[in-house]
Amino acid sequence: MESKTVTFAIGRGAETALLPKHLNNAEEMVAQLERQLKDIQAESSYLWIRQRSLNETAQSFLQRLSWLNCVEFLMLVATAAFHARYIVGLVSDKRIL
């Protein structure tokens, strides 16, 4: 285990002598903070990857939806052209009138 230097700023208050149990408690707190930071980093990475995946899925879905809209528009134009031609044929047919 490598040695680390930790600096604490201590304010005024009741004076207490520094005991070995205080150092162990501080080391435990530092270890706990390190674990919490690693957990936060892991969760942040997971959320970033999840968001990227959701963005790619949404982009793919919107691309397919735009192609579907194009096909639907072409079908609408074809249907309108067929109806216009059919109505012109009915009106121009003298036997019906």
Q: What digits encode the pLDDT tens for the residues 20-41?
A: 776 777 788 888 999 999 999 9
Show the CA angle centred on residue 46, arms to residues 37 and 64, nearest 5°: 160
Helix (H) or strand (E) holding 2: none
Confidence check: pLDDT of 80 > 80: yes
Question: Per the confidence metrics, is the pTM higher than 0.95?
Answer: no
Distances (CA, A) of 46 to 37, 39, 40, 74: 14, 11, 10, 42
Confidence check: pLDDT of 73 > 60: yes
- The per-residue pLDDT for range 40-64, each reduced to its tens digit, is 999 999 999 999 999 999 999 999 9
Burial profile 47-64: b = 16 or more Cβ within 10 angstroms, e = fewer: eeeeeeeeeeeeeeeeee
